[in-house]
Amino acid sequence: MKINQAFTILQQSGGIRAARIITEHVKKLSWFRVHMMARKLRRGMPVAKIIGQKWFYGLKFYTNKHTLDPRPDTETLVSAVISDCDNNTPRRILDLGTGTGCIICSLVKNIPNMSGVAVDVSGAALRVARKNIVSLGLANLIKTLRGSFNNKKLVREQFDVIVSNPPYIARNDARVDDGATYDPVRALYAKKNGLAAYESIAKNAKNWIKQGGNLYLEIGIDQGADIKNIFHKNGWNFVRSENDLSGIERVLIFSMVTK
């Protein structure tokens, strides 16, 4: 099939932007393949899931049904860490719920002398993360570990920086778009009105952070006050928050209170 024919079919199904991205990234545009992709677009499947890749913080990441697609909101978290790490001091980073590995890979790529551990409870997600780590040339700097942040013995090392974009959507939240139905459920939804993962991190991450280190969390809309309260009760000190490009409070930063 000629590219202009494929573009027309895809545009009719998913719009100009989707058609442009797919025709730019997919090499073999057979009649069957184009019509299958058009069908997926009509069903609301995100373009990233169709082509298996998404750009994040200037880097290309592989993604599939086992991981969340990297989202622009999460770049706010990456920028916050980079702004706090403005020298060449060696740092170790722990990424809780790494998914594609987009957060830890972007940080290690952009901050000199940084290395760390990417953790996920899903073995399938870790395979995606490892693929991205290798493709970005970071295999010597980032190790992967299967486990849950519900386990306080998850790691024995203490880190300078901990980052997490945990599941934070309440199961009855009607604001979730159709594209999210193609993401793994346990990477999106959390019990206790979306706060369960934060309670686990607040309780256990104090065992994994060095004195003077910071914890960076992505949060959902209007969750800031509740999450700050959770971390305060668990002995953390609130440092600051960061807003995303829409002006929504998206990232909270904590440190451990000095005793």
Global pTM value? 0.91
**Statement: residue 178 has pLDDT above 60:** yes
Q: Categorize the per-residue pLDDT at 194 as very low, low, confident or very high, splitting at 50, 70 and 90.
A: confident
| pLDDT digits 0-9 by tens, 36-85 | 999 999 988 999 999 999 999 999 999 999 999 999 999 999 999 999 99
Q: How confident is the model at residue 159 (pLDDT cuts 50, 70, 90)?
A: very high
Q: Residue 31, Cα to own-chain centre: how many angstroms?
A: 34
Q: Compute CA 233 distance to the chain's CA centroid, rounded to the nearest angstrom.
A: 26
Residue 104 buriedness (CB in 10 A; 0-12 / 13-18 / 19+): buried
Q: How confident is the model at residue 174 (pLDDT cuts 50, 70, 90)?
A: low
Contacts by residues 33-37 (CB-CB < 8 Å, ≥ 24 positions apart)? 34/1, 34/5, 34/6, 34/9, 34/10, 35/9, 37/10, 37/13
β partners of residue 216: 163, 253
Percent of the chain with pLDDT over 70: 96
How far apart (Å, rounded) are the C-alpha atoms in residues 124 and 255? 31
pLDDT value, residue 175:
63
- Please provide the average confidence, as pLDDT, over all residues in the chain: 91
Compute the average pLDDT of residues 153-168.
93
Q: What residue ranges do the domains of the chain occupy?
A: 3-43, 72-256
Banded pLDDT at 177 (limits 50, 70, 90): low
> pLDDT digit string (tens) for 112-128?
999 999 999 999 999 99
Can you give the pLDDT at residue 2? 87
Q: Which tens digits make up the pLDDT trace of 206-217?
A: 999 999 999 999
Specify the CATH class of 72-256 in words: alpha beta
Question: Strand pairing partners for 146?
Answer: 120
Buried-state track 66-81, b at ≥16 Cβ within 10 A, e below 16: bbbbbeebbbbbbbbb
Closest CA relative to residue 71, chosen from 153, 148, 211, 179: 179
**Cα-only R_g, the chain:** 19
Q: Are 142 and 98 in contact (CB under 8 A)?
A: no
pLDDT in tens, 225-251: 999 999 999 999 999 999 999 999 999
Q: Which pLDDT does position 106 carry in this prediction?
A: 97
Concatenated DSSP letters of 214-250: EEEEE--TT-HHHHHHHHHHTTEEEEEEEE-TTS-EE
| Distance between CA atoms of residues 111 and 109, nearest Å | 6
SS3 per-residue string spanning 79-131? HHHHHHCCCCCCEEEEEECCCCCHHHHHHHHHCCCEEEEEEECCHHHHHHHHH
> 């991450």: which residue's tokens?
205
pLDDT of residue 143: 97
What was the pLDDT predicted at 115? 97
Please name every residue paired with 116 in a beta bridge, in sequence order, or none if there are none.
93, 142
* Structure confidence at residue 27 (pLDDT): 83
